Structure 1
Amino acid sequence: MKTTRQLFAALALAAVATTAAHAAGDHGAGHDHKPQHGGIVAEANDMDYELVAKPDTITLHLRDHGKPAKTEGVSAKLTLLNGTEKSEAVLVPAGEGRLETKGIFKVAAGTKVVALVTLPGKKAANVRFAVK
């Protein structure tokens, strides 16, 4: 009888430890928040957003649990902040897991970028980036 209680106690502790590790951010290999395209990664609404900002093209890669998210029906608007300067751009789908805009953009160290991304059937995500 005592052995059964000890076994249940050990199982309960193991369950608590597993839950705590998951809550602390150990979501598995598909959710590691590392850049895959040389950009800056931020997470919002259980998705990863990777911003790749160049002077002539800005790309936003969307990943859902490590896999490219569908971009059909997705809309996104960027706001770029450089000190007191503010500019905006609209992103359009450019392939699986990718939104893009072309133009002339002032992107340098210190530029702050706010992306408002709306996915069909989901709450809009407000994603913030700081260019390094």
Structure 2
Amino acid sequence: MKTQALLASLALTLASTAFAAGDKHDHAHEHKPLHGGVVVEIKDIDYELVAKPTVIQLHLRDHGKPADVSKATAKVTLLSGTEKQEVELKPAGDKLEATGSFKVGAGTKAVAVVSVAGKASTVRFSIK
């Protein structure tokens, strides 16, 4: 009986250690908006959407540091009430951006499909 208890205890200890080692997410950085937008984290990348009536910007940060978006693209679908608008974002310095006339405001939903280095991610935002 003591052997079974010892083995169970050992298995639990090893499982706890393996679980802790598998958690590779580093919370040394915060997920706060740096540009006045809405932040969503997907696979260790922070996506910050800044949506204004004349400009849509998407900032990407990898573990708190700006990500290289020079070869990235994004397509954002804005859903405001019954209206739907699709916007292509292109690199503009350290962000992806589009200018024009956009229907955005509190309650607007946005879905961004972002392609960086051939890898696509889908990110959902809710504008406050």
TM-score range, shorter chain: 0.7 to 0.9
Matched ranges for 1:15-30 at <5 A:
16=16, 20=20, 23=23, 27-30=26-29
Are 1:110 and 2:107 matched, yes or no?
yes
* C-alpha distance in structure 1 between counterparts of 2:19 and 2:65, whole Å: 24
Q: 1:127 to 1:71 in 2, by over 3 A?
A: same
Percent identity, aligned pairs only, is: 56
Whether 1:131 aligns to 2:123 is no
TM-superposed deviation, 1:33: 1.3
Asked if the contact 1:42–1:48 (Cα under 8 Å) also holds between the matched residues in 2, the reply is: yes
Q: What is the letter of the counterpart of residue 75 of structure 2? A: K
1:38–1:21: structure 2 CA closer, same or farther, 3 Å change rule?
A: farther
Counterparts in 2 of 1:39-58, with a 5 A limit? 39-58=37-56
For 2:126, the aligned partner's letter is A
Identify the residue that residue 87 of structure 2 maps to in structure 1.
89
Gaps of 5+ in 1: 1-8
Runs of 4+ in 1 over 6 A off after TM superposition: none
Distance change in 2, residues 1:22/1:50 (3 Å): farther
Amino acid of the structure 1 residue aligned with 2:45: M
8 Å CA contact retained: 2:25, 2:44: no
* Structure 1 residues 86-123: Cα deviation after superposition (integer angstroms, max 9, x where no partner): 00110010112x1110001011111000000001142x
Gaps in structure 2 of 5+ consecutive residues: 1-8
Once residues 18 and 59 of structure 1 are traced to their aligned partners in structure 2, the CA distance between those partners, rounded to angstroms, is: 40
One-letter amino acid of the structure 2 residue matched with residue 101 of structure 1? A
SS for the counterpart of 2:96 is strand
Higher strand share: 2
CA distance in 2, matches of 1:72, 1:89: 18
Shift of 1:43: 1.2
Count of residue pairs the alignment pairs up: 119
Q: TM-score, normalised by structure 2?
A: 0.80
